[in-house]
Amino acid sequence: MVLSASSEALLQDIITRLRAEFAVKDMGTLRFFLGIDVRRTPHGFLLSQTKYAEDLLDRACMTNCKPTATPIDVKAKLSSASGTAVRDASEYRSIAGGLQYLTITRPNIAHAVQQACLHMHSPKECHLALVKRILRYVRGTSELGLHLRAATSPVITRLL
């Protein structure tokens, strides 16, 4: 379980109450959890999955692939009916599912991954090409992550 609070005093109070009811082991400051690297900054938290992305590229045998600037070709339309079926549909599902988990800290690939996941039931070679393009994009941007900024109240902000 990961605990967070608006103040150290509140966090300690929560831990004390949990210890009164359960056997709790405090593992200290959060650094790595479920494949997500967590770094605290004066302005909030940086979440990244660099190691997970590298492992996913390795699993897909694309560690040394040429990076691409975008995760999807916006002009191409993927058909679910036409094309040759992929040789190993379970491998396709595994890699596409891995990309789906990567969207936790990489919302910039969410649309492309969603398009690839639409075809999990019967993937074709054109869908595999999309997955490989997303992986090539990840290859060039594996160090990107999500910055959660500290705020006194939850606010949705406009990015410039």
Cα dihedral 82→84→89→94 (10° resolution): -80
Report d(CA 86, CA 88) in Å as an integer.
6
Regarding whether 104 and 86 lie in a shared domain, the answer is yes
- What is the arithmetic mean of pLDDT over 134-145? 94
Regarding whether 110 and 56 lie in a shared domain, the answer is yes
Regarding whether 63 and 36 lie in a shared domain, the answer is no
- Give the model's confidence band at 158: pLDDT under 50 very low, under 70 low, under 90 confident, else very high: low
- What is the arithmetic mean of pLDDT over 22-41? 88
Residue found under tokens 């831990």: 15
Regarding whether 54 and 39 lie in a shared domain, the answer is no
In a domain, 13, yes or no: yes
Report d(CA 160, CA 154) in Å as an integer.
19
In a domain, 87, yes or no: yes
Element (H, E) at 32: strand 32-33
Regarding whether 60 and 23 lie in a shared domain, the answer is no
- What is the arithmetic mean of pLDDT over 90-95? 95
Q: What is the pLDDT at residue 157?
A: 63
Regarding whether 63 and 37 lie in a shared domain, the answer is no
- pTM, whole model, 2 decimals? 0.81
In a domain, 149, yes or no: no
Regarding whether 22 and 90 lie in a shared domain, the answer is no
Give the range of the structural domain holding residue 88, as residue numbers without chain letter: 50-141
Q: What is the mean pLDDT of the chain?
A: 89
Does residue 153 have a pLDDT over 70? yes
Regarding whether 37 and 68 lie in a shared domain, the answer is no
Regarding whether 37 and 98 lie in a shared domain, the answer is no
Regarding whether 68 and 136 lie in a shared domain, the answer is yes
3: phi then psi, degrees, rounded to nearest 5? -110, 140
- What is the arithmetic mean of pLDDT over 130-141? 96
Higher pLDDT, 51 or 43: 51
- Give the model's confidence band at 156: pLDDT under 50 very low, under 70 low, under 90 confident, else very high: low
In a domain, 59, yes or no: yes
When divided into structural domains, the chain yields a total of 2
Regarding whether 59 and 25 lie in a shared domain, the answer is no
Looking at the chain, the whole-number percentage of residues with pLDDT higher than 90 is 60
In a domain, 2, yes or no: no
